[in-house]
Structure 1
Amino acid sequence: MARKQRIHYEGALYHVICRGNNREYIFDKEEDKKIYLETILRYKEKYKFKLYAYCIMDNHGHLLIEVGKVPLSKIMQGIQQVFTMKYNKKNGRTGHVFEQRYKAILCNKDEYLLSLIRYIHQNPMRAGIKEKLDYQWSSHRTYIEKNASRLVDYKYILSILSEDINKAIKKYAELIEEEIDKEEMTEEELNKGIRQDRQPKQHETKKLDHKYIKQKTCEYYGVEPNELSKKTRKQKIVNARKALILISKEFSDISNKELAKELHLAESTVSNILSDENNKKLTQIIKL
């Protein structure tokens, strides 16, 4: 079965998790961790995405990425392929290095950015690593030590906490020291991401608020929300309405019936919009 086509949004925030094939310890050597980070930097400079946090454990890695114009799939394809080539050459082997497809969870930036950074930086603590937060292969120390970094976009995160850099670091340190219940984080934080970047399972829920989607769609198309429910042939309003239907069905729990009622459309019209492949392009570049 073909994989479901991804919808790319400029500014989308992803929590990416990469595991070694068969849970192999592909990062157990410091040299391999260094090569992986160097590869990430190479593609960060090429594709202009933002990296807010990382933690490279021995058999998996966590990345918190905000994409720009280039979709995550292309970014990760480059990173994974180059590392795989170097890893196999260095170890005289062939075949897969990573576990099939990486896992990527699209998250609500406004609500979960700081929580995800904390979750990622606390990985060594949960794994029982003696260095805990001082673990060398995470981005935590970049935040604490104010080290200039081409890899980690830490200044933006600190600016959220305070305009004063020293106060921001203090607040960050306090935030990171707060204990996260692992089960709560897994269920509440990770599953409150919008969608996983793979074929969704039936039990996965969609977590973007429909009103938020409507606001962003209207901002992109330059229309007022009340215009979406009016009878009109203006192309930008027609396109905005179609985009709202497509994105809402992809990323929220709203039903066809509810969309039809809100937009003053027949339910069959909503179904036709959703089934028309030509409409998919309308959703490709809206920034949520």
Structure 2
Amino acid sequence: MSELTMVRRKRNWHPNGFFHIIMRGNNRQNIFNGEKDVKEYKRILNFVYDKYPFEIFAFCIMSNHVHFLLRSPIVPLGKLMAPINRRYSDYYRKKHNYTGQIYENRYYSKEIIDPIGLLKVSSYIHRNPIQTKVPMVKSLEHYPYSSYPYYFHNMKSPHSFVNLELLPSLMPGGREKTPQAYAKYCVEYDGKSENVEIQ
């Protein structure tokens, strides 16, 4: 392989872009081993948010990967994701006495360019806990590590980086533009990925 082909391709980014982000554990191993790890990850997100404000419209933290639908209006995706990944990796190694890299390659990113795409991708993200070979929960609102319960229960998020207003406002046709209507849309969505394999 030539030196030129080994150069990493620059990430597509612009301030108003919406991006589906996935970060996966190395060899698909677990990178979250319970509630304490998830709490630390969210603490890191809050820390980075204070430095580089961003918006997350949908998220799902699974045992071996993370999904975000986000917008980073201040800094490119790489500058946003780097401190998140570094700080959590440092925490995980120390907490679990782990040696080596915890992530598989770089994060995946894909820009979502239209309203229906945002609805589909966010639904796909929220449906992760029931799309596993053995569903992790019977109902999406029972999975505690995603943004879905905020929509289902019409709850305010405790995290400043979570935006719960945009997705309901994009509901198509004659549907109500409410968090509950959006939550129902997620349940009814057929679950087909946007050209992303996560299992």
The alpha-carbon deviation at position 159 of structure 1 amounts to: 3.2
Long gaps (5+) in structure 2: 1-5
- Give the aligned partner of residue 51 of structure 1: 56
CA distance in 2, matches of 1:180, 1:143: 19
- Give the aligned partner of residue 136 of structure 1: 144
Contact persistence 1:122–1:132 (CA under 8 A): no
CA distance in 1, matches of 2:128, 2:153: 19
The alpha-carbon deviation at position 78 of structure 1 amounts to: 0.8
More strand by share: 2
Structure number with greater Rg is 1
1:168-187 mapped onto 2 (5 Å cutoff): 168-182=178-192, 185-187=193-195
CA distance in 1, matches of 2:30, 2:138: 19
Q: Aligned with 1:129: secondary structure?
A: coil
Long gaps (5+) in structure 1: 192-288
CA distance in 1, matches of 2:10, 2:189: 37
CA distance in 2, matches of 1:45, 1:146: 25
Q: Which runs of 4+ in 1 moved over 4 A?
A: none
- Give the aligned partner of residue 33 of structure 2: 28
Q: TM-score under structure 1 normalisation?
A: 0.59
- 1:195-215 Cα offsets, whole Å, 9 max, x none, are xxxxxxxxxxxxxxxxxxxxx
Contact persistence 1:28–1:57 (CA under 8 A): no
More helix by share: 1
CA distance in 1, matches of 2:13, 2:23: 20
Decide whether aligned partners of structure 1 residues 181 and 137 sit closer, same or farther in structure 2, where only a CA change above 3 A counts: closer
What is the root-mean-square deviation in Å for CA atoms of aligned residues?
A: 2.1
Q: TM-score under structure 2 normalisation?
A: 0.84
CA distance in 2, matches of 1:38, 1:103: 22
CA distance in 2, matches of 1:91, 1:99: 18
The amino acid of 1:122's aligned partner reads R
- Give the aligned partner of residue 84 of structure 2: 79
